[in-house]
Amino acid sequence: MAKKTSIKTKNQGKKQPAGTAKISAKAKSAFGLEKQFESLTKWFQAQDKNDEPLFQVLDMFPIPIEIFAPDGTCVFLNRALMELHNLHDKNFAIGKYNVLKDPIILQIMEQMGLSDKFQKVFQGEAAICKDFPAPVADLQDRGLIDEKPYEKGTMDLYNYPIWKDDKLHFVVCVFVVRNLYMGRPDVARAKEYIDNHWLEEFDLKVMAKSANMSITPLYNLFKQHIGMTPGEYYKKVKVEHIKEKLTDKSLSIKEAFAACGEDSRGHLSKVFKEITGLTPTDYRKNLK
């Protein structure tokens, strides 16, 4: 049986009650979330052995939470987690899904170098896994969701052991979403339009029409989900095609730009350097 840990704060040299999760300085969140989760852990430990009232409260939490038995079997997932992944039925997981036997999760943990830390969580040690890639595609592949609610996401996983009667009772996993690309259909249509019409002069109105949206909402959504404005994305696509043409040594730099509908002495030449850090000439010289 793993030993329980205790906390020491800067302001108090006293030990906290046994069983409280230990948080290292390196793992602290910029938002002070580790303190909130310490309080949540203490609250868990103070509850009656009847877990149902506890689960009812956590179901109303706006933060995604999943709880596992010491053997890795899922015993609870809250509404926020269900909504995040567009899941409709908890029965597929509760009492059936075992995170310690999930090959996808185990593979991700191994790739991130977190295999040992992950195993120790279920031996009673607290752990925080930063920038965990959400396996949303796997949920779709298993037929648990009809379509992906987002294309890609990264999360910080706060894993805390809950002790009762000197035994490991639960492992609580709290998901803090860091980045999500939601894959909105309207944004996807706008992105697809640019990908297919990059040789043409960029026209924001035409792009918005292709997505069946007005300009301002689409502009804001595009920037939010793609990370750049439509015009910036258009230029990025242009530069990628120019880079491809520059690999063809039979073309001069002027001809490579012309093949992409641009003047090698025009504005896009400056954009090329801003994006790649090299002039078109230097970029070609660095090609192997």
Q: What is the pLDDT of residue 34?
A: 53
Question: Residue 76: pLDDT band by 50, 70, 90 thresholds?
Answer: very high
Rounded Cα distance, 144 and 263, in Å: 50
CA distances from 179 to 16, 142, 262 (A): 34, 23, 34
- Which tokens belong to 250? 């039979």
| d(C-alpha 199, C-alpha 8), whole Å | 62
User: Can you spell out the DSSP letters for 107-141?
Assistant: HHHHHTT-HHHHHHHTTT--EEEEEEEP-HHHHHH
List the domain boundaries for the chain: 25-181, 185-285
For the ranges 44-48, 50-54, 176-180, 216-220, the maximum mean pLDDT occurs at 216-220
Structure tokens, 9: 């704060």
Type of residue numbered 192:
E
Q: What is the pLDDT of residues 147-196, one digit of tens each?
A: 888 766 778 999 988 888 888 999 999 999 876 655 677 887 888 889 88
Q: Which CATH architecture has domain 25-181?
A: 2-Layer Sandwich (3.30)
Q: How far is the C-alpha of 113 from the C-alpha of 108, rounded, in Å?
A: 9
Residue 34 near residue 25, CB atoms below 8 Å: no
Whether 27 shows a pLDDT value over 50: the answer reads no
pLDDT, the chain, mean: 81
Reduce the DSSP state of residue 153 to 3 states and report it: strand
Q: Which CATH superfamily is domain 185-285 in?
A: Homeodomain-like (1.10.10.60)
Residue 40: pLDDT band (50, 70, 90) is low
Q: Which residue has the tokens 């805390």?
A: 160
The predicted pLDDT at position 191 comes to 84
Mean pLDDT across the stretch 57-67? Answer: 89
197 vs 199: CA distance, rounded Å: 5
Residue 171 bridge partners (DSSP): 68, 161
pLDDT reading at 57 higher than 70: yes
Cα–Cα distance, 138 to 72 (Å, whole number)? 19
Residue 47: predicted pLDDT: 57
158 and 177 in contact (C-beta within 8 Å)?
no
Task: Examine the pLDDT at 25 and tell me if it is beyond 60.
Answer: no
Q: Classify residue 195 by burial, with Cβ atoms within 10 Å: 0-12, 13-18, 19+.
A: exposed
Cα dihedral 242, 183, 220, 33 sign: negative
Judged against a pLDDT cut of 60, whether residue 243 lies above it is answered with yes
Report the alpha-carbon distance of residue 281 to residue 252 in Å, rounded: 10
Given a cut of 70, whether residue 114 has pLDDT beyond it is yes
